[in-house]
A and B are shown apart, each in its own frame.
Chain A
Amino acid sequence: MSLSRRDFLKYGATTGTAVVGGGIDLTPVEAAAASLRIKEAKAFPGVCPYCAVGCAQLIYVKDNKIVDIEGDPDAPHTEGALCPKGSSTYQLSLNERRISKCMYRAPGSDKWEEKPLDWMMEQIAQRVKKTRDETFVESVKVGDKPVTVNRCEGMAWLGSSVLDNEENYLIAKLSRGMGLVNLENSARLCHSATVPALGATFGRGAMTTNLIDVQYADVIMPTSNWAECHPVSYKWVMKAKERGAKIIHVDPRFTRTSATADYHVPIRSGTNIVFFGGLIRYAIESKKYFHDYVVTFTNATLLVDPNFKTPAVLDGLFSGYDAGKRSYDQSTWKFQLDADGYPKQDPTLRDPNCVFQHLRRHYARYTPEMVERVCGISKDLFLKVADVYCSASGPDKTGTISYALQLNQSTNGVQQIRSLCMLQLILGNVGRPGGGVVALRGHSNVQGATDFGTLYHMLPGYPAAPLQAPHPTLTDYLEKTTPKGGFWVNNPKFVVSLLKAWWGPAATKENDYAYDYLPKREKADAYSHQHFVIGMHQKKVKGFICMGQNPAVDSPNAKMSRQAVRNLEWLVVVDLFETDTAAIWKEPGIDPKSSPVEVFFIPAAPAAEKDGSLTNTMRLAQWHVKAVESPGDARSDAAFIVDLGNRLKELYKASKAKKDRPVLDLVWDYQPQGPKKEPTMELILKECNGYATDDVTDKDGKLQYKKGEPMKTFAHLRDDGLTACGNWLYGGIYPEEGKNLALRREKAKGGDYMAHGWGFVWPANRRILYNRASADAAGKPWSEKKKLIWWDAEQKKWVGNDVPDFPGTMAPNAPRQTEGPFKGIGGVDAFIMNPHGKGQLFASVLDGAFPEHYEPFESPTRNLLSKVDNNPVAKVYDIGDLNRLGTPDKYPYVLTTYRLTEHHAAGMSRHVPWLSELFFGHFAEIGTEMAKELGIQNGDMITVETPRAQIKVQALVTERIKPFIINGKKVYQVGIPWHWGYQGVMKSARGDITNDLVASLGDPTTFIQESKALLCNVRKAVA
């Protein structure tokens, strides 16, 4: 009998008692030792609540108590493995620090008081109502026209990328119903640049591929610390490596990922565009790009307006820059159109105005020598890895690139990410097995929280949150936000169905489906996380609901952010533990009397104690089942939100005011059950999926759906009010009553290596996006080795190993559609969401049509590429002395911040003893050479200082951190993980707050902060 590791695991999961090796003859002593505590336990399907790998778990319960949590061996993406965080989730439920009672802190008080849940909820509802009523703006004048804006700016709600999809949906629905515009989740601070970067290039703001598929890559280039931050998914990288794939790790620090790599490429933080621009140049100049793919699937052939100019011509600026407004007039950033309104093309790629030629000229300046001077790696190393990576191109080979926050958290984060997406496009690495862009999300539900719109700028499913000036009416809104081609032409169906899901019978054709109820933003430059925290500091934002996030530690410029929270009138924290934010008035060195904030702490439930779905980094939604009852008053976040909504409706019941209709008309019947009023989660899932609001007939008059029946697919959504849908992307996740596809756990079978029977992947269970590009123009696989889907001429449909991300019966030679749901798309247009169906090398992003390098705002050097040092349209928050920037004469060291395997976002891991014991405490990593120069020994306490703050940490002196040679000058770097704060289970879990060092700066598109590339000073601390 051959016994593989999987067999061992399988036995455990299915029988728990199967024997190995046969013939066991236990002595009595051994028999006693061998009683297994999970033997008679019931196993519930769980999902790890930490990172976005979404490891499937089995939660073993005996006598209503969790006795064990381990990986589900059937899970195709994780195969039963868990990382240290996943392995310790037991202590999220069973933990002495877990709070099970509601706690109240009166203004100025120095203690918590235990209060009944009902009292707390009533008080919170009253505070919310009071602040809403005091700060509500019903209507404004735009020019001389009144516009209904229904906006409440006086409070903020932080949803969470560790809450379930259904909970984020409820937050989006209730908060928008109340008129909130200050609505965010932690995705803003970690991956917000991802969405416009991937969106502008490929059409959707999500990872293009599937973790399991990474094993088929020929070269893998992590630009994130993949092994440390997403350890379980790293198994696929190691499997690829075992098959002979090369690994190139691009990271300023030598990390646990570098330790597995064939090449470590330590580029300076903030210089990714130079590195990727250099690779794009190399691929073009050495003709290593995938010519046929580029011509077929990208907009390289399209002709740009002759007046468009790039920074290669204008010394660092694109055409149309307005220095006064710090923004671009993009009127020249457009295509030359033919008589049909479609861009003119040159399939030979020779026209000087075609995108390809612009791209070539733009990156001609990004020479290997320039890479060496700016990034601080040798030209030889660059050329070596350029050669290795660009070999992953053409019909037979593919390469995968991962990225995470090194690229996101920057004043040009969107463009940094776009630069690697463009490299993947020209190498033909998107939509193909072993190819793609792996956007590694840090929280269990960053993808889902983003999809469900707990973000200030969008609604669930990605329609824009309306703005008062351009979008006063539904007609204006739909006209301006719906493109003329690509699948987004269906936007009106999604928007109207969303309005029906929210306001039901009150949303009628006559009142534009209650479009007026939606809050309208005053302007684009407002309401993001950093904006509203500053609003709190300035006492303009008075109330704050904070769920599953810990801004006291994770906000940029965190010291200012904590004062901002202390300046509030009221704060509601819903969490498992007493987070640093909940204990904001207890911060060491702060007099509790000085803070007027009234704090309500509501105990929450971890994933193991509630039903709901989490969408992992590869768009895989997995349902977890409530395994046990939460202790005391602790309950799901969904219960809190539904309860609050019901109480607000009650408080407004007698109101005749127009402004209160959005609250009163909100469809809010989730059938709360039991003593803790837990809503029925599948009802919420069904609403997100979509359902018929009345009997629906198809175009032949045949009954398609009965009233109330769930939609089978988003393709059946309508713009006439007959369908309601909370999030069109999740259409099909609940296709029939009682059928929850997120709960499916069918393991991989046969050739279906991506296991289509495991959970539900949006959209429509497609595992690799843009997979039409896995076949050539004629619909044949590029090669046998890299086949995924292909056109079957006999069956007249696309077939293969994935659900086609393409109209299933549209032939490869089909002409461009002139109407219908795929308007603008023809048989070779693999990027169906984009207006022209092409992967967009050229795309209008606020700070440029191509990524251009600018230095971080704190940098050891001027910009060596142009006279424009910093992103000319980036956001610099004007808060005076609270946001001073450092210069290299006073702050000579490059500082980068990051995360470790063993800890997570600040609210959970430091309360978990098994994780907190793995590191001795807060530390900074510095190189041996720098330490020697400063007289610092390994283990010494040091002070790290920026103009915003200084922190004291222990020095970890290591050969792994090396200086850079930037433009011929040696520059030292300092690395600091950011997990620590003043709350924590043991001494090693408590420490100074790294984000105090970070400035208030933002990418112009998403306002994500710049926390990867800063300047600092370092000195030995005085004891």
Chain B
Amino acid sequence: MARTLAMFTDVSLCIGCRACQVACKQWNQLAPEEPEWTGSYQNHAHFTDKTYRLVRFFEETDATGQMKQWHMMSDVCKHCAQAGCLEACPTGAIYRTEYGTVNINQDICNGCRYCVSACPFGVVAFNHDTGTATKCTFCNDRIHNGLGPACAKACPTESIRFGFRDELAGKAKQRVEELKKLGYKDAQLYGEDTNGALGGLNAFFLLLGKPSIYGLPDKPKLPQRNVIADSLLSIGSALLVGLGALVAFRSRDDKGGA
């Protein structure tokens, strides 16, 4: 296996411009969607089958209700080392590349949507037009041709950096120390630790406060490993997976598809 590639998003450098979001749309030729009221600048509210990169906006107020900080964070598929989507996929459509990224083979996906609910970050979305699950691939075509992902390339402030995971992790740790010296005492990395939650995230983040400020789970877990009591449900799920797969294959056959 080649060296793991990763994306390091440093929110202390993010200006919330959403270049990444649009560059992703352009490169991946994703259709626009009518936006909705979210109560802030953010659109869309969630990842969708047409939005793989999403800049989230959070206003943090202090104890007296005064404005403390306006956080902006460009969110993306984490390409987890222990990927819930991959583990939940009954057909083998979801696979890990030699660079450690997690992709969904659109020709094999049967549209069962188990990956959608298995993702602890709400990343994977179902595309009703193709009947398949979709998400960020780190621009698979670009990285296999020596180019960085479109989002990282467009980022004006280099808040999104792309490269070899070990090198980026070193830089990220250094950056946390620098920020702490500058007075950002809550600066911390999220997902960088390969011994941490989900075996580390291949898209990891530098946050300026606790993860929940950014809408991230403090300790991300795979839903299928949550509690033993869920195991019964899991067995049920497994049955359904099989059934779902059958149905999906059949319906695809009906359409003359794969």
B26 touches A254 (CB 8 A): no
B97 touches A259 (CB 8 A): no
Q: Which of B28-36, B113-121, B185-193 contacts A (4 or more CB under 8 A)?
A: B28-36
Most chain B beta-carbon contacts within 10 A, residue among A16, A87, A238? A87
Bound together, the chains give a CA A3 to CA B165 distance in angstroms of 11
Residues in chain A near residue B13, CB distance under 8 A: 238
* Closest-CB distance, A152 to chain B (whole angstroms): 44
Residues in chain A near residue B95, CB distance under 8 A: 29
Q: Which of A34-42, A494-502, A578-586 contacts B (4 or more CB under 8 A)?
A: A34-42
A235 contacts chain B at the CB level, 8 A cutoff: yes
B145 touches A81 (CB 8 A): no
Residues in chain A near residue B43, CB distance under 8 A: 917-920
B156 touches A87 (CB 8 A): no
A481 contacts chain B at the CB level, 8 A cutoff: no
Residues in chain A near residue B32, CB distance under 8 A: 913-914, 916-917, 985-986
A80 touches B2 (CB 8 A): no
Task: Identify A231's interface contact among B17, B97, B142, CB under 8 A.
Answer: B17
Task: Identify A86's interface contact among B19, B34, B39, CB under 8 A.
Answer: B19
Bound together, the chains give a CA A985 to CA B32 distance in angstroms of 10
Bound together, the chains give a CA A34 to CA B143 distance in angstroms of 8
Given A87-B22, A959-B65, A959-B67: A238 in contact with B59 (beta carbons within 8 A): no
B144 touches A26 (CB 8 A): yes
Given A9-B153, A22-B2, A958-B59: A915 in contact with B140 (beta carbons within 8 A): no
Residues in chain A near residue B156, CB distance under 8 A: 78, 81-83, 231-235
Residues in chain A near residue B25, CB distance under 8 A: 87-88, 914
Q: Which of B98-106, B196-204, B215-223, B230-238 contacts A (4 or more CB under 8 A)?
A: B98-106
Residues in chain A near residue B212, CB distance under 8 A: none
* Closest-CB distance, B121 to chain A (whole angstroms): 21
B98 touches A259 (CB 8 A): no
Bound together, the chains give a CA A386 to CA B105 distance in angstroms of 59
Task: Identify B164's interface contact among A21, A71, A257, CB under 8 A.
Answer: A21
* Closest-CB distance, A65 to chain B (whole angstroms): 13
Bound together, the chains give a CA A66 to CA B33 distance in angstroms of 23
A69 contacts chain B at the CB level, 8 A cutoff: yes
**Chain B, Cβ-Cβ closest to A916:** B32
B15 contacts chain A at the CB level, 8 A cutoff: yes
Residues in chain A near residue B27, CB distance under 8 A: 68, 70
Encode B85-97 as 1/0 by CB contact (under 8 A) with A. 0000000000101
Bound together, the chains give a CA A608 to CA B13 distance in angstroms of 31
B23 contacts chain A at the CB level, 8 A cutoff: yes
Bound together, the chains give a CA A16 to CA B144 distance in angstroms of 10
Bound together, the chains give a CA A85 to CA B93 distance in angstroms of 35
Scan residues 16-40 of chain A and give those whose CB is less than 8 A from a CB of chain B. Answer: 16-26, 29-30, 33-37, 39
Bound together, the chains give a CA A287 to CA B158 distance in angstroms of 39
A84 touches B157 (CB 8 A): no
B69 contacts chain A at the CB level, 8 A cutoff: yes
B173 contacts chain A at the CB level, 8 A cutoff: no
**Chain A, Cβ-Cβ closest to B137:** A33
Bound together, the chains give a CA A700 to CA B35 distance in angstroms of 71
A36 touches B23 (CB 8 A): no
**Chain A, Cβ-Cβ closest to B33:** A917
Encode A252-266 as 1/0 by CB contact (under 8 A) with B. 001011111000000
Bound together, the chains give a CA A572 to CA B157 distance in angstroms of 41
Most chain B beta-carbon contacts within 10 A, residue among A71, A84, A913? A84
B154 touches A21 (CB 8 A): no
Scan residues 28-61 of chain B and give those whose CB is less than 8 A from a CB of chain A. Answer: 31-41, 43-44, 59, 61
B214 contacts chain A at the CB level, 8 A cutoff: no
* Closest-CB distance, B92 to chain A (whole angstroms): 11
* Closest-CB distance, A459 to chain B (whole angstroms): 37
B155 touches A81 (CB 8 A): yes
Bound together, the chains give a CA A939 to CA B40 distance in angstroms of 9
Bound together, the chains give a CA A958 to CA B99 distance in angstroms of 42
Interface size range on A against B:
35 or more
* Closest-CB distance, B153 to chain A (whole angstroms): 6
Scan residues 322-357 of chain A and give those whose CB is less than 8 A from a CB of chain B. Answer: none
A918 touches B146 (CB 8 A): no
Task: Identify A80's interface contact among B16, B61, B153, CB under 8 A.
Answer: B153
A3 touches B22 (CB 8 A): no
Task: Identify A12's interface contact among B34, B69, B99, B147, CB under 8 A.
Answer: B147
* Closest-CB distance, A767 to chain B (whole angstroms): 21
Residues in chain B near residue A69, CB distance under 8 A: 26
A665 contacts chain B at the CB level, 8 A cutoff: no
Given A958-B59, A960-B59: A24 in contact with B141 (beta carbons within 8 A): no
B67 touches A87 (CB 8 A): no
B177 contacts chain A at the CB level, 8 A cutoff: no
B131 contacts chain A at the CB level, 8 A cutoff: no
* Closest-CB distance, B182 to chain A (whole angstroms): 8
Residues in chain B near residue A918, CB distance under 8 A: 18, 21-22, 35, 43
Scan residues 955-976 of chain A and give those whose CB is less than 8 A from a CB of chain B. Answer: 956, 958-960, 962
Most chain A beta-carbon contacts within 10 A, residue among B70, B107, B152, B164? B70
* Closest-CB distance, A3 to chain B (whole angstroms): 5
Task: Identify B23's interface contact among A11, A73, A82, A238, CB under 8 A.
Answer: A82
Scan residues 230-279 of chain A and give those whose CB is less than 8 A from a CB of chain B. Answer: 231-235, 238, 254, 256-260
Task: Identify A5's interface contact among B41, B71, B99, B158, CB under 8 A.
Answer: B158
* Closest-CB distance, A113 to chain B (whole angstroms): 30
A8 touches B26 (CB 8 A): no
B140 touches A34 (CB 8 A): yes
Residues in chain A near residue B157, CB distance under 8 A: 231, 234-235, 238
B98 touches A25 (CB 8 A): yes
Residues in chain B near residue A68, CB distance under 8 A: 26-27
Residues in chain B near residue A37, CB distance under 8 A: 141
Scan residues 130-168 of chain B and give those whose CB is less than 8 A from a CB of chain A. Answer: 137, 140-148, 150, 152-158, 161-164, 167
Scan residues 41-75 of chain A and give those whose CB is less than 8 A from a CB of chain B. Answer: 68-71, 73
Given A20-B5, A256-B70, A917-B35: A83 in contact with B19 (beta carbons within 8 A): yes
Residues in chain A near residue B21, CB distance under 8 A: 84, 918
A71 touches B22 (CB 8 A): no
Bound together, the chains give a CA A386 to CA B147 distance in angstroms of 46
Bound together, the chains give a CA A928 to CA B16 distance in angstroms of 22
* Closest-CB distance, B14 to chain A (whole angstroms): 9
A17 touches B19 (CB 8 A): no
* Closest-CB distance, B185 to chain A (whole angstroms): 15
Residues in chain B near residue A256, CB distance under 8 A: 15-17, 70, 72
* Closest-CB distance, A737 to chain B (whole angstroms): 37
B226 contacts chain A at the CB level, 8 A cutoff: no
B195 contacts chain A at the CB level, 8 A cutoff: no
Bound together, the chains give a CA A574 to CA B123 distance in angstroms of 43
**Chain A, Cβ-Cβ closest to B36:** A920
A5 touches B152 (CB 8 A): yes
Most chain B beta-carbon contacts within 10 A, residue among A3, A9, A29, A928? A3
A593 contacts chain B at the CB level, 8 A cutoff: no
A11 touches B146 (CB 8 A): yes
B34 touches A987 (CB 8 A): yes
* Closest-CB distance, A92 to chain B (whole angstroms): 12
Bound together, the chains give a CA A26 to CA B161 distance in angstroms of 24
A901 contacts chain B at the CB level, 8 A cutoff: yes
- A residues with a Cβ closer than 8 A to B are 2-5, 8-9, 11-12, 15-26, 29-30, 33-37, 39, 68-71, 73, 78, 80-88, 90-91, 227-228, 231-235, 238, 254, 256-260, 901-902, 913-921, 928, 938-939, 954, 956, 958-960, 962, 985-988
List 9 A-B pairs, minimum CB-CB distance, nearest first.
A913-B32, A34-B144, A8-B148, A18-B146, A12-B147, A84-B22, A231-B17, A11-B146, A87-B22
- B residues with a Cβ closer than 8 A to A are 2-3, 5, 13, 15-19, 21-23, 25-27, 31-41, 43-44, 59, 61, 65-67, 69-72, 95, 97-99, 103, 105, 107, 137, 140-148, 150, 152-158, 161-164, 167
Q: List 12 A-B contacts (CB under 8 A).
A: A5-B162, A5-B163, A16-B146, A22-B2, A34-B144, A39-B145, A82-B154, A83-B154, A83-B156, A254-B67, A259-B70, A920-B43
